[in-house]
Structure 1
Amino acid sequence: MKKKTKSNVWHIQWMLLAFATLCFTGCKDDDEGLEEAFDPNKPIVVSDFSPKKGGAGSNLILYGDNFGNDPSKVKVTIGGKDTRIVTVKNQSMYCIIPPKAYNGNIQVSVCDDNGEVISSVEAESTFEYEKKWMVSTAFGTYYENGNEFFDMKDGPLDAGGGFGNVFWFSWDPESDYNKLYFTNDGKTTRYLDLEKNEIGTFSHGFDRVTAITWTLDGNMIVSHNHSSDTKPGNYLFTRASNYTQKETLGGYARGVNGNMIHPINGELYYSRYRAGDMWKYDFETGESTLCFQNPYSGVGIYLVPHPSGKYAYMLEQEYYFIMRTDYDWIRKTFTTPYAICGTGNSWGYSDGIGTHAQLNRPIQGVFVKNPAYAGQEDEYDFYFCDKNNHCVRILTPNGRVTTFAGRGNNGTSGLLDGEVRTEARFNEPRALTFDPKRNCFYVGDGLNKIIRKIAKETE
């Protein structure tokens, strides 16, 4: 009994101690939650901030004194740009970095009930603003009411109208990146003259053209994507005739979705939809030969050669993956392809390496040199439109897929400009190209019927 009584006493003592500790802690927390209001008789102090550098949309915490406790009466500018304040405590403040805060000067002000500044201070050190990749609308007008949409007419690019079905971009190789052609996959091929800020039309006379490419000597190749077994599929339009004269290349070819020129040896390669195969046309012999049979038939295969000519990517839209075909320099032909990312006939969305990445209808892509790879065997990343995932993605030389732009604000499709990942949205982007002269990407934003631009912020 004595032992039991002693045990009860100790239990009661521990309960009282725990209760006292809880009360003390609770009172301490309550005291900490009662942040002091701004004192007009004291100066505002900015003693430090973290992090020291970042880009638009990044978080920033300011430390100091006499900030007050009312976010509606505190104003913060970084580089002269108004900054969104999330929370304010008297000695700390949580903000969001605004776009284009280039010079990095941090100023904190406190206002009265009428919004007039009554005290302000500038931090001694400056924030290092990092320019981010941003998405904007480059060309065309978005019409929320689809019944109001009309195709942009030839003439000035700011005259209104949009683009019904931008499908494939192709630069005139002799235009110094000033003339960009694009197909409409069922409509007349158009071109943008970025030097004159105009849009024009190229009339090739075909009812459906999916892809165009260029010979090494600057002539245009147009592939007629038709459904006949008794018609040629590829035509050469000569620059000397201002693309008014054409000649047939090779024999009959049905459903030509993709074409490309080997960047070193100059042969023409093209894919056929119904048969699911790839062919080579040799300009020297005038002969067409089968390169290989694709694992799947009834598939749009879009072709993009690596600048070195060592390999090419085959973007297989209906089967949701990308294959690689290596070039045989002795036989002068591309060889049997193999999967590089995604899984054939299995769609989804996930970043990852090889078959661990999931795609959903990849279409056009472009190789872009990455300075971080300087001196390596392959110095290029591959950017591509993942149409039904509503984004632009990156495929590295080692087969890793990441998302570069789109799917912002926890969404998928839509139309929104802003930072490439946190804000920007696309709606079935299809065409993609890179402009090294202006250091930007152009995206044919399919269902939004406009051309978007992805570029780093500029002052």
Structure 2
Amino acid sequence: MKRKTTISTVCKQAILILFSSVYLSGLGGCQDGGTTYGAPQGSPSDPNQPVIFTDFTPNEGPVRTRMYINGENFGTDISLIDVFIGGQKAKVIHSSDKQIYCMVPARASGGYVEVTIKNTDGNEYVKHTFDQRFTYHFNEMVGTLWGKVDQNGNSSVKNGSFEEAETIEPRLALFDDKDGRREIYFCEGNKTIRKMDLNKREVTTVLKSGSVDWKSINTMCWSKEKDTLFVNNVTTVQDAPGIYYFLRKENFQIPHNCVIMKNVNCIFVNDADPDDWGIYFITKDKSMLYKGIFNPETGLWDPKELHSFGNSGQWYEHAVFHPEGKYLYCLSRGQHCIQKVIYDPETNQLEKPDVFVGYSGSKGYVDGVGTNARFSIPMQGVFVRNEQYVKEGKDDIYDFYVMDADNHCVRTVSPEGVVTTYAGRGSISSDGRVYGYIDGPIRTDARFSTPMGLCYEESTSTFYVCDKNNRRIRTISVQ
């Protein structure tokens, strides 16, 4: 039997059609940065009338501040309107012909606000730069670069795009900027090396677990020219390689024996001194400092014993030279402190270490000066140039940023030994927890969970964090 269509049903259908027509005509259209789906783009500026620019508001704010530009005859087609704030292109969201609504982009620090109104053919019709300037407020934010997990927080070791890639245990990061590259090598657990390409936004595996006869990776570093990658091997076998090296021309995939020695747990290179071509390393059993010197006859680096280094059996997680070669910082996991070692460029020798910040053998979380500060497990750190120090004419213009794994944060060490918390431990839970997975402002909101790796990209002022227990790669950037 055929169903009858009542007057009431016809009215409902008419109302629905009318609503759909109005929605698609632009009154309810879905717009995103100038694209309106299923609707006209709006009207262009009237070429027979002048375009008038009055002012904009607000005058200051951080990234994603809503800006309103006032005037007349802007047109309503946002695809024909370009706005640049501080030299960065802003996202234009709406125009009512008398007011343009846009969003302040990241790093809009130049201050100038420039508006271009185009003809329907896309050519420039009017360009205006306001005398009034916008004051940009920088925000330091923690974000997530990649690391796909399921609803239960589970993941696997999976390569692919940043949207697809997964990691189980990211631990140690090393930035590669040679010849314009933007790549980061990192340890997956302690036996696999993977690479993330920031330009291609993809993750690949360089060395699989088992492809090299190593027991455990603890540190890795570049040669001066960054054509060789040194990776340690914590082994208890006396005649086994304690350090391997890998060559860029072989895509870092073929292991070569470098130093034959057991219990090598920390390796580092002095980039600053042009006469210092050796590789330094510290052993765990005697806590002895060595310098490996290349032997062209054997193709190995011969270990030269320099002197005892710290306490016997002390585990050094990471060591890094100051960018100008003035000294070395050694991160002692077991002693919960950072030791400082002066480098003598006349003799090419490192002196014995002294505790610089933290208190040897005392674990905790305290911001403070020198040995009044407390760390839990300092893992990996990088020196970063501080422009304020440059303006002040300081002799040492670098701060040291270091992962404090069990305190779930990034700490900063000034040249004078002042320790502060830089990022993490934000929005403390009602149960007192300071760890977790939260993106946002570095101190008020952001949280990590056992972050273990850290590297820095100077060209973009971005930190990259191996956030182990969250199974993600996080970023800390200025926006």
1:334 equivalent among 346, 350, 353: 350
Range with greater deviation from structure 2 (441-450 or 191-200): 191-200
Aligned match of 2:368: 352
| Post-superposition offset of 1:230 | 2.9
Contact 1:444 1:452 in 2 (8 A): yes
| Post-superposition offset of 1:129 | 4.8
Q: Deviations over 1:232-274 (max 9, x none)?
A: 20122222333344432233132x3321111122320112223
Query: Does 1:376 pair with 2:414?
Result: no
Where do residues 381-400 of structure 1 align in structure 2 (5 Å cutoff)? 381-400=399-418
Aligned match of 1:170: 174
Secondary structure of the residue aligned to 2:388 is helix
1:179 equivalent among 179, 183, 192: 183
Query: Does 1:237 pair with 2:241?
Result: no
Aligned match of 1:93: none
Partner Cα separation in structure 2 for residue 173 and residue 149 of structure 1? 29
Q: Percent identity?
A: 31
| Post-superposition offset of 1:127 | 8.7
Partner Cα separation in structure 1 for residue 413 and residue 401 of structure 2? 6
Partner Cα separation in structure 2 for residue 388 and residue 436 of structure 1? 27
Aligned length: 347
Query: Does 1:151 pair with 2:161?
Result: no
Q: Output the amino acid matched with 1:279.
A: Y
Partner Cα separation in structure 2 for residue 238 and residue 145 of structure 1? 40
Partner Cα separation in structure 2 for residue 417 and residue 379 of structure 1? 29
**Distance of aligned partners of 1:382 and 1:150 in 2 relative to their CA distance in 1, 3 Å threshold:** same
Partner Cα separation in structure 2 for residue 168 and residue 274 of structure 1? 23
2:137 equivalent among 130, 141, 149: 130
Secondary structure of the residue aligned to 1:397 is coil
Aligned match of 1:61: none
Aligned match of 2:77: none
Contact 2:175 2:456 in 1 (8 A): no
| Post-superposition offset of 1:310 | 1.7
Alignment RMSD: 3.0
1:316 equivalent among 323, 332, 341: 332
Query: Does 1:281 pair with 2:289?
Result: no
2:474 equivalent among 439, 452, 455: 452
Where do residues 426-441 of structure 1 align in structure 2 (5 Å cutoff)? 426-441=448-463
Contact 1:280 1:333 in 2 (8 A): no
| Post-superposition offset of 1:160 | 4.1
**Distance of aligned partners of 1:295 and 1:422 in 2 relative to their CA distance in 1, 3 Å threshold:** same
Contact 2:175 2:457 in 1 (8 A): no
Structure 2 unaligned segments of length 5 or more: list them: 1-58, 64-89, 92-103, 112-131
| Post-superposition offset of 1:284 | 5.9
Q: Output the amino acid matched with 2:357.
A: C
Secondary structure of the residue aligned to 2:218 is strand
Q: Deviations over 1:88-114 (max 9, x none)?
A: xxxxxxxxxx9989899xxxxxxxxxx
In our comparison, the structure showing a higher alpha carbon Rg is 1
Partner Cα separation in structure 1 for residue 336 and residue 314 of structure 2? 10
Partner Cα separation in structure 2 for residue 454 and residue 432 of structure 1? 10
**Distance of aligned partners of 1:269 and 1:143 in 2 relative to their CA distance in 1, 3 Å threshold:** farther
Q: Output the amino acid matched with 1:397.
A: P
Q: Output the amino acid matched with 2:306.
A: C
**Distance of aligned partners of 1:423 and 1:261 in 2 relative to their CA distance in 1, 3 Å threshold:** same
| Post-superposition offset of 1:279 | 1.6
**Distance of aligned partners of 1:316 and 1:194 in 2 relative to their CA distance in 1, 3 Å threshold:** same
Q: Output the amino acid matched with 1:266.
A: W
Secondary structure of the residue aligned to 2:334 is helix
Partner Cα separation in structure 1 for residue 108 and residue 293 of structure 2? 53
**Distance of aligned partners of 1:54 and 1:398 in 2 relative to their CA distance in 1, 3 Å threshold:** farther
Query: Does 1:409 pair with 2:416?
Result: no
Query: Does 1:295 pair with 2:318?
Result: no
Partner Cα separation in structure 2 for residue 144 and residue 378 of structure 1? 47
Partner Cα separation in structure 2 for residue 194 and residue 308 of structure 1? 28
Range with greater deviation from structure 2 (168-177 or 438-447): 168-177
Partner Cα separation in structure 2 for residue 426 and residue 292 of structure 1? 38
Contact 1:184 1:210 in 2 (8 A): no
Where do residues 78-97 of structure 1 align in structure 2 (5 Å cutoff)? none
**Distance of aligned partners of 1:242 and 1:100 in 2 relative to their CA distance in 1, 3 Å threshold:** closer
Contact 2:403 2:410 in 1 (8 A): yes
| Post-superposition offset of 1:165 | 1.7
Contact 2:145 2:162 in 1 (8 A): no
Query: Does 1:215 pair with 2:215?
Result: no
| Post-superposition offset of 1:228 | 2.3
**Distance of aligned partners of 1:389 and 1:236 in 2 relative to their CA distance in 1, 3 Å threshold:** same
Q: Output the amino acid matched with 1:287.
A: D
Contact 1:213 1:261 in 2 (8 A): yes
| Post-superposition offset of 1:454 | 0.4
Partner Cα separation in structure 1 for residue 193 and residue 108 of structure 2? 40
Secondary structure of the residue aligned to 2:443 is coil
Secondary structure of the residue aligned to 1:309 is coil
**Distance of aligned partners of 1:257 and 1:177 in 2 relative to their CA distance in 1, 3 Å threshold:** farther
